[in-house]
């Protein structure tokens, strides 16, 4: 077991560090040699007549669905519904033949996700499993399997499976956009070229690790931490908060920053670190003004953005984590790295059991 961890102190650290390479393989596996098209299993799923996409999962896999909702709506103009499996399975939601039902699971064995899938059998037009473990209960019950090829994930807190789920879902959204005529060949080629830059972007994001180690001392003494984002960075904020609470036991919440004034702003004082995921996308300015509202109330902001974003917005922030400049479409995948590093180093600083956090299981096979 020690050997498998290699030079890393924890499986989680190893799994965070593997991501550039694993994502690079995943890009190569599923694009053509000309780097203009998405190919492979993602392009075999037929969305041409789909009237709705229903995505269901638990935990981190659910947040991957939540990010992907933005991609499917934007690139393929498909109405998307998402839900956590434990709610979906019992609320008897109407599911129809025009629906594609998609289930995301690292283990392929999560009881609630499997039950939600069984509910959709015979109702939805097709059942898609986005899985790391394809030889699994969810794999056997799916009509189509999209493997995410993350390799074995040992750390209880999911890291590389999350980014591989995201990349797989992004490719699926691109392919759906092509089939539905909402994404031109030129736009698809542009996105595929961006995918090829992903490993370098991930490596660049990893260079923030020293800074994160330093910041971890500050974060580890907090009682509550808020994560903010807008658009697809909102579910990333939720994932960042989940990761942090899972392994550091610090209370953390993710929020859509536009919702701040509807409640969480009441929590803000100088003792609550606020982590803001701010790629320079269409909502950057709105996010910055939300962040300024936080700072005006004494909130200590950790701004995660690129060089130009820092130049524009770093005044008054407590710390800045520099990310590479990128196409906003890739931001949820690349900004997952600082989210994971923040959780990891905060937990290590606190001295918790990072790979085996209390009360949690890697795979929840009972209800």
Q: What are phi and psi of 353, to 5 degrees?
A: -85, 90
The residue count for the chain: 367
Helices and strands, number each (H, E), in the chain: 16, 10
> CB-based contacts of 236: which residues, under 8 Å, 6+ apart?
63, 67, 229, 254, 277, 331, 332, 335, 336, 339
DSSP summary character for residue 335 = T
Q: Is 362 a catalytic residue?
A: yes
Toward ligand G6P, which CB reaches closer, 43 or 107? 107
Distance CA 121, CA 125 (A): 9
- Coil/strand/helix, residue 127: strand
Instruction: Report the nearest approach of ligand G6P to the CB of residue 301 (Å).
Output: 28
Catalytic member of 123, 245, 350, 362: 362
Residue nearest to ligand G6P according to CB distances in the complex = 59
Instruction: Report the nearest approach of ligand G6P to the CB of residue 325 (Å).
Output: 30
- Coil/strand/helix, residue 69: helix
Instruction: Report the nearest approach of ligand G6P to the CB of residue 84 (Å).
Output: 10
The structure tokens listed for 88 are 């979906």
Instruction: Report the nearest approach of ligand G6P to the CB of residue 95 (Å).
Output: 20
Note the residues at the interface with ligand G6P (CB under 6 A). 58-61, 105-107, 110, 113, 156-158, 360, 362-364
Instruction: Report the nearest approach of ligand G6P to the CB of residue 105 (Å).
Output: 3
Distance CA 241, CA 239 (A): 5
- Coil/strand/helix, residue 256: strand
Query: Is 36 buried (19+), middle (13-18) or exposed (0-12) by CB count in 10 A?
Result: middle
Indicate the angle between helix axes 59-71 and 160-180, nearest 10 degrees. 30
Toward ligand G6P, which CB reaches closer, 74 or 356? 356
Distance CA 122, CA 337 (A): 39
Toward ligand G6P, which CB reaches closer, 218 or 249? 249
Cβ neighbours around 81 below 10 Å, total: 16
Distance CA 111, CA 128 (A): 17
Toward ligand G6P, which CB reaches closer, 60 or 300? 60
Instruction: Report the nearest approach of ligand G6P to the CB of residue 131 (Å).
Output: 9
Q: Looking at the annotation, which residues are catalytic?
A: 362
């Amino acid at each position: 077991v020690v050997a498998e961890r290699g030079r890393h102190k924890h499986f989680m650290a190893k799994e965070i560090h593997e991501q550039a390479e694993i994502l690079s393989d995943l890009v190569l596996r599923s694009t053509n040699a000309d780097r203009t098209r998405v190919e492979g299993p993602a392009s075999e799923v037929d969305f041409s007549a789909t009237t709705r996409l229903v995505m269901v999962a638990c935990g981190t896999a659910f947040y991957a669905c939540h990010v992907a909702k933005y991609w499917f709506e934007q690139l393929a103009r498909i109405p998307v519904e998402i839900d956590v499996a434990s709610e979906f399975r019992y609320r008897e939601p109407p599911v129809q033949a025009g629906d594609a039902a998609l289930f995301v699971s690292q283990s392929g064995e999560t009881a609630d996700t499997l039950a939600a899938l069984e509910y959709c059998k015979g109702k939805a037009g097709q059942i898609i499993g986005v899985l790391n473990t394809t030889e699994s209960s969810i794999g056997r019950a799916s009509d189509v399997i999209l493997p995410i090829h993350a390799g074995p994930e040992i750390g209880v807190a999911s890291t590389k499976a999350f980014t591989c789920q995201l990349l797989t879902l992004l490719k699926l959204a691109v392919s759906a956009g092509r089939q539905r005529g909402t994404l031109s060949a030129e736009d698809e080629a542009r996105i595929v070229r961006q995918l090829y830059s992903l490993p370098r972007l991930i490596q660049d994001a990893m260079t923030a690790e020293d800074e994160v180690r330093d910041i971890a001392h500050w974060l580890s003494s907090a009682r509550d931490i808020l994560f903010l984002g807008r658009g697809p960075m909102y579910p990333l904020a939720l994932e960042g908060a989940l990761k942090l609470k899972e392994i550091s036991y610090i209370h953390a919440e993710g929020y859509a920053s536009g919702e701040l004034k509807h409640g969480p702003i009441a929590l803000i004082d100088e003792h609550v670190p606020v982590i803001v995921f701010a790629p320079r996308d269409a909502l950057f300015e709105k996010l910055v003004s939300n962040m300024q509202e936080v700072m005006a109330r004494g909130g200590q902001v950790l701004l995660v953005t690129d060089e130009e974003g820092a130049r524009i917005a770093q005044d008054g922030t407590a710390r800045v984590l520099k990310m590479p400049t990128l196409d906003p479409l890739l931001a949820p995948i690349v900004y997952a790295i600082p989210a994971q590093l923040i959780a990891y180093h905060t937990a290590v600083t606190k001295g918790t059991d990072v790979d085996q956090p209390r009360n949690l299981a890697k795979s929840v096979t009972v209800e």
